[in-house]
């Protein structure tokens, strides 16, 4: 199995080493192994960090991310996971809708040719000129 030192993991995933140490403290990342006094994680940590970053960009708190990544399969933990997922799904749908609306606005602005949101005729509210 391949292991990555904190510097290599940090560069690979584009996250500061301090964030990796913090996430480890919070239980988001599994405890690092020590080799010659250095923290090392299995290469699979790259995927876990990618999931953490994706969840953060979608608006999840670190506590929520910890809940989603928990490997606890006890009935209580499973119930909490389902409740969290059910609560977050509508928020994710809203985030997707907002992102799609922004994408349409950027595409419309490009089609207009003005390249400035505040001057774009296509983005002006009906009956109002920019």
Helix (H/G/I), strand (E/B), else coil: 37: coil
- Which residues have CB under 8 Å from 13's CB, separation 6+? 46, 49, 50, 53
Q: What is the pTM of this model?
A: 0.73
> Model confidence over 79-122: pLDDT tens digits?
988 898 899 999 999 999 999 988 988 888 888 777 777 777 66
Task: Give the per-residue pLDDT at 125.
Answer: 64
Give all strands of the β-sheet with 3-5 in edge-to-edge order: 3-5, 38-42, 33-35
Task: Give the per-residue pLDDT at 129.
Answer: 53
Task: Give the per-residue pLDDT at 127.
Answer: 59
Task: Give the per-residue pLDDT at 112.
Answer: 76
Q: Is the pLDDT confidence value at 62 over 70?
A: yes
> Model confidence over 7-57: pLDDT tens digits?
999 999 999 999 999 999 998 998 888 988 888 999 999 999 999 999 998
């Amino acid at each position: 199995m391949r292991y990555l030192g904190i510097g290599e993991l940090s560069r690979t995933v584009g996250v500061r080493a301090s964030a990796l140490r913090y996430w480890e403290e919070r239980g988001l990342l599994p405890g690092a192994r020590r080799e010659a006094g250095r923290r090392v994680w299995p290469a699979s940590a790259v995927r876990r960090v990618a999931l953490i970053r994706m969840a953060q960009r979608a608006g999840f708190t670190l506590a929520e991310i910890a809940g989603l990544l928990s490997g606890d399969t006890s009935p209580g933990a499973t119930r909490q996971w389902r409740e969290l997922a059910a609560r977050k799904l509508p928020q994710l749908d809203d985030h997707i809708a907002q992102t799609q609306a922004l994408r349409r606005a950027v595409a419309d602005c490009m089609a207009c040719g003005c390249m400035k949101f505040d001057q774009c005729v296509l983005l002006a509210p009906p009956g109002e000129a920019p």
